[in-house]
Structures are given as C-alpha cells and as structure tokens.
Structure 1
Amino acid sequence: MSVAIDDLAGRLRTSLATVQWVTTAYLLARLLALGLFLAGSVLCAAVWNAPGLIAFRVLQGVGGGMMTVLLATLVIQAAVDATSARSCRRSPCPPPSGRLRPDRATGDGARTGGPARAGPRG
C-alpha cells in the first residue's frame, strides 16, 4: 500500500497527508481487532456466569473474525514475495502455479500446480 500512496494522491486529487490516513486506518483496524480479541479472551477467563461467557465469546469472535481477514491480507502480500514458494511448502497454502520446486529425491526441478513433466530430465 505504501508504494502506491503518491499515485493514489494524484488519482484521487487529494493531499499526500490525506491519503496516508488509508494506511493509518488499516493499522488502527488491526489494533482494534487485536484489542477486541484480547479483551474477550481476558473476560472469558474471568467469567462468572453462562450469559457472561456467551457475551464475551461474541466479543472474542468479533475480534478474531477481524484478525482472520487481516491475516489473509498479510498472507497474500507475503505470497508476492520471492520466498513464497519456500514458505508455502511448509504451510497448508497451495504453491503458486508454474513455480519451480526442486524434487527432494533427485534435486531436479518439477513444476508445481500441475502434472510433472514427461520425458527425460536434464
């Protein structure tokens, strides 16, 4: 986002300081989500009755739901990084289609996201 701020200011015909609020608002949303989740967790730990537990779990769920969406954004941003093929092999996310990944047994490159190459390797 920060690399597009100058372009956004020009396209939206507004000042750079105004467009920077986009990034600030995103950060504040992340902090709000974390705060809601943390508050819900602490209140769940100190609950004194069943209706309180229900209410505090709702608060925790709202914060957790917001964090899930924000986390997905961070994962997508990280996938654009050059190291995404390595990180996806260790996590449940699917590797980007067409990336080369070394075969563990032979060391040869094998295409991910589709069938293996036919024919001799070399």
Structure 2
Amino acid sequence: MYHQFSRATGRLVAATNLQTPLFPVAPIALQRVDPPKIQYNTAQLSTVTEACPAPGARKLIPGTNTPYSPVPESIRKQQQQFQKEDDVPVFLKGGPVDGILYRLTLALCVVGLVGIGHTVYDHAFPKQ
C-alpha cells in the first residue's frame, strides 16, 4: 500500500490513485553511452620547465613579464622558525608571548563555560 499527503488535512493517508511507487513517472532503462574522448590541446599546456623553474630563476607574475618581488629576510627567518621540526605546536612557536596568549584564551574559555553552566542552572532552578 502506498501513502501520500492529504491536501485538506496535511496528514499522511492511504493513496487511492497511486498504482506504482513512481507514479506518474515510469522508470526508463538507461541507455548505453560511450564516454567522451579526452582531447589534449598541446598549444595551451605548459611544459615541465615552465612549471618548475630552476632554483635561481625568478618566477614571473602570471600574465606579465614582471617578476615577483623578493621575500624580505625577516619573513624568511620566520618561515624557517615556524617550519622547523621540533615537536612544538605551531601556536606556541612564536615564543613566550604565544604561550601567554594561549593560556589566557584557555582561561577565558573556562570562564565562559562556567558562565554558561551558571545560566543553565539558574534557568533550570529559578529562585522563588
């Protein structure tokens, strides 16, 4: 037995006009279609040497002949510091200030959770 929603009541009732589960759409068998052929356009593909420039070569900004500006030495040192394998989480690699900010954030989270618990308790057991 099949069911449908009644327009009058909005409830689920036994269907009278449904003879198949896919009424009024009948299933149609899938037709076999050959997959599309892959076409390689070699004129627009870059070569390996363009995609991976030599270590000393400067990469150009796409669409221009202007090279990217060099990375300042201070940023290069920070990159080395943060990418170093020393089993320290990345949010603590900035030094003691990062440790202080991390602990302050944890303390504020705990204070917020205590505040939420206090609010839930006040709403669950109101004062009379």
Same fold per superposition (TM over 0.5): no
Instruction: Select the structure with the greater relative contact order (CA < 8 A; seq sep ≥ 6).
Output: 1
Structure 1 or 2, whichever has the larger Rg, is: 2
**TM band (smaller chain):** under 0.3
Which protein has the bigger helix share? 1
TM-score (norm 1): 0.24
